């Protein structure tokens, strides 16, 4: 199977998982509905992205056991909604505002930079140093980090950060370093690296 299959399945199932939690624990609070709207819509947008401008690394083939493993590991992202919905916590206005703001900005950075990368490499292979990647070499990861941080904040518990922390350390950082190592083959990369940040924009 392609590696994107268990990932996409997880994105689809997430909305139903959250709805199931809401009905099982009879929690239909504003926080629960907001979480469903944010994470559910993110899953839908991910599927749309997978069709319009798929990520090359998720197109790789994988064994069925490994695909099941990937799906289960992605379950760490379900800790945040589980904690939120199984508790009596109701996020206040400022918390919801920050969560929504992080989600909106993060989604724009994540998907827009992925679209730029896909279509640029499709028609002009090489090092991308403009647009979303002019000051930051991993704008897509910045966006994804913001999205899941917003979900974690909405959970109202440190446990909501377990998923994004695990993936940031175990996947995001290794992938960013691996990307830098790969891009080093371009002669102009050394100069580009000096004027861009690995994760956050470098303006000086």
Domain that residue 80 falls in:
4-194
Give the pLDDT confidence of 64-101 residue by residue, as tens digits. 999 999 999 999 999 999 999 999 899 999 999 999 99
Give every CB contact of residue 54 below 8 A, 6+ residues apart in sequence.
4, 118
Average pLDDT, the chain: 95
- For residue 30, give the nearest of 100, 79, 77, 78 by alpha carbon: 100
The count of domains in the chain is: 1
Asked if the model's pLDDT at residue 125 lies above 70, the reply is yes
How does 75-94 read in b/e, with b if 16+ C-beta sit within 10 Å?
eebbbbbbbbbeeebebeee
3-state secondary structure of 2: strand
202, part of any domain: no
11, part of any domain: yes
Give the pLDDT confidence of 11-66 residue by residue, as tens digits. 999 999 999 999 999 999 999 999 999 999 999 999 999 999 999 888 889 899 99
Helix ranges (H only) for the chain are 4-24, 30-52, 64-74, 79-86, 93-123, 139-155, 162-167, 173-183, 189-194
Q: What percent of the chain has pLDDT over 70?
A: 99
CB 82, CB 156: distance < 8 Å: no
Distance CA 22, CA 34 (A): 12
190, part of any domain: yes
178, part of any domain: yes
203, part of any domain: no
Asked if the model's pLDDT at residue 204 lies above 70, the reply is no
Q: What confidence score (pLDDT) does residue 30 get?
A: 96
28, part of any domain: yes
Average pLDDT over residues 150-159: 96
How many Cα atoms occupy the beta-carbon half-sphere of 1 within 13 Å? 15
């Amino acid at each position: 199977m392609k590696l994107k299959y268990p990932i996409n399945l997880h994105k689809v199932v997430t909305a139903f998982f959250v709805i199931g939690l809401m009905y099982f624990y009879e929690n239909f609070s504003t926080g629960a509905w907001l979480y469903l709207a944010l994470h559910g819509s993110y899953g839908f947008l991910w599927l749309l992205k997978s069709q319009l401008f798929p990520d090359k690394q998720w197109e790789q083939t994988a064994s069925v056991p490994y695909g099941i493993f990937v799906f289960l590991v992605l379950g760490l992202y379900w800790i945040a909604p589980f904690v939120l919905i199984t508790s009596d916590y109701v996020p206040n206005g400022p918390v919801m505002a920050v969560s929504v703001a992080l989600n909106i900005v993060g989604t724009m950075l994540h998907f827009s930079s992925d679209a730029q990368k896909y279509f640029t490499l499709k028609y002009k292979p090489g090092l991308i140093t403009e647009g979303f990647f002019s000051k930051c070499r991993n704008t897509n990861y910045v966006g994804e980090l913001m999205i899941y941080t917003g979900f974690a904040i909405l959970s109202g518990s440190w446990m909501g950060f377990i998923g994004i922390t695990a993936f940031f350390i175990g996947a995001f950082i290794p992938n960013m370093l691996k990307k830098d190592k790969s891009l080093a083959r371009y002669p102009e990369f050394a100069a580009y690296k000096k004027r861009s940040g690995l994760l956050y924009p470098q303006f000086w």
